[in-house]
């Protein structure tokens, strides 16, 4: 079984994530793509990240209609910061028969070399780097046989931009799935002082 792994903060999930996952699923004939929302993201500790349970539920809502998409709690249920090495190790333990394909955007790809246990990562998964508007997709410094580069439809969307838009009352329709727009509104996410403190809804 060929299993795509789409890791991310998903704060919130948007159509850039979904298009990238869908395109790679098709290009590589993956049986499934599992979305893995991070726990406490170690690279983003300088800013407040929405509670993991909200990010997880928005990811479930966004992926529910695609029979090949699933969501894993493996990172949000593990205490402490999320490292991709732990994500892939846990997924391999859970799915020993699966061949893993880790999908990552051009911006995150450039940072891989700084990740914990980078040498061990190549044994756990094939890395798929996807194009992202505004970032250069180059595998420099990464082992060419371990990173496959793929062009995906350009979606100039970021979670940062979505959060800013919500904060300033600008629309996010069509940038994120309808259910995610409604979830953000229902829980007053990304509004100053508005974040629902009940992470365990
Ligand atoms: P933030 O602005 O908070 O960093 P983000 O939009 O970059 O959010 P992440 O959750 O950080 O989203 O990204 C998860 C993964 O999805 C990363 O590998 C990232 O490169 C990739 N990705 C995010 N947005 C896009 C996009 N528009 N096109 C292609 N890949 C994307
Ligand atoms: Mg990002």
Q: In CATH, what number is assigned to the domain containing residue 83? A: 3.40.50.620
Query: CA–CA separation, 187 vs 51, rounded Å?
Result: 11
Considering the domain boundaries, does residue 48 fall inside one? Answer: yes
Tokens 């809804």 belong to residue: 201
Overall number of domains in the chain: 1
Considering the domain boundaries, does residue 146 fall inside one? Answer: yes
pTM score, whole prediction = 0.93
CA–chain centroid gap for 175, Å, is 15
Considering the domain boundaries, does residue 192 fall inside one? Answer: no
Query: CA–CA separation, 8 vs 157, rounded Å?
Result: 14
Query: CA–CA separation, 129 vs 195, rounded Å?
Result: 33
Among 76, 107, 110, 131, the mutation site with the greatest number of ligand 1 atoms within 8 A of its Cβ is: 107
With a CB cutoff of 8 Å and minimum separation 6, the contacts of 57 are: 183, 201
Identify the nearest ligand to the CA of 158 by its number. Answer: 1
Considering the domain boundaries, does residue 197 fall inside one? Answer: no
What ipTM is given for this predicted complex?
Answer: 0.99
pLDDT one digit per residue (tens) for the chain, 201 residues: 999 999 999 999 999 999 999 999 999 999 999 999 999 666 665 678 899 999 999 999 999 999 999 999 999 999 988 889 999 999 999 999 999 999 999 998 878 777 777 888 989 999 999 999 999 877 556 777 778 999 999 999 999 999 999 999 999 999 999 999 999 999 999 998 765 544 444
Structure tokens at 107: 């911006």
Range of the domain at 30: 2-186
User: How far does the centroid of ligand 1 lie from the alpha carbon of residue 17, in Å?
Assistant: 6
Considering the domain boundaries, does residue 35 fall inside one? Answer: yes
Considering the domain boundaries, does residue 75 fall inside one? Answer: yes
Kindly report the number of other CB atoms within 10 A of residue 197's CB atom.
6
Among 6, 8, 27, 154, the mutation site with the greatest number of ligand 1 atoms within 8 A of its Cβ is: 8
Q: Which atom of ligand 1 is nearest to the CA of 154?
A: 28
Identify the nearest ligand to the CA of 133 by its number. Answer: 1
Taking alpha carbons only, the member of 59, 140, 67, 146 closest to residue 106 is: 140
Considering the domain boundaries, does residue 141 fall inside one? Answer: yes
User: How far does the centroid of ligand 2 lie from the alpha carbon of residue 158, in Å?
Assistant: 7
> Dihedral of the CA atoms 150, 152, 154, 157 (nearest 10)?
-90
Considering the domain boundaries, does residue 90 fall inside one? Answer: yes
């Amino acid at each position: 079984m060929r299993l795509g792994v789409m890791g991310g903060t998903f704060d919130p999930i948007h159509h850039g994530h979904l298009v990238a996952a869908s395109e790679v699923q098709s290009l590589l004939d993956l049986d499934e793509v599992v979305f893995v929302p991070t726990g406490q993201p170690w690279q983003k500790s300088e800013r407040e990240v929405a509670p993991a349970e909200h990010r997880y539920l928005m990811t479930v809502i966004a992926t529910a209609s695609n029979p090949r998409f699933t969501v894993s709690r493996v990172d949000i249920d593990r205490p402490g910061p999320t490292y991709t090495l732990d994500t892939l190790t846990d997924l391999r333990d859970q799915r020993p028969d699966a061949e893993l394909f880790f999908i990552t955007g051009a911006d995150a790809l450039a940072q891989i070399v700084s990740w914990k246990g980078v040498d061990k990562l190549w044994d756990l998964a094939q890395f798929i780097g996807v194009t992202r508007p505004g970032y250069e997709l180059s595998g420099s410094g990464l082992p060419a046989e371990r990173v496959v580069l793929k062009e995906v439809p350009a979606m100039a969307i970021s979670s940062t931009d979505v959060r800013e838009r919500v904060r300033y009352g600008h629309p996010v329709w069509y940038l994120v799935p309808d259910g995610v727009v409604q979830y953000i509104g229902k829980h007053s996410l990304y509004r100053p002082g508005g974040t629902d403190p009940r992470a365990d809804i």
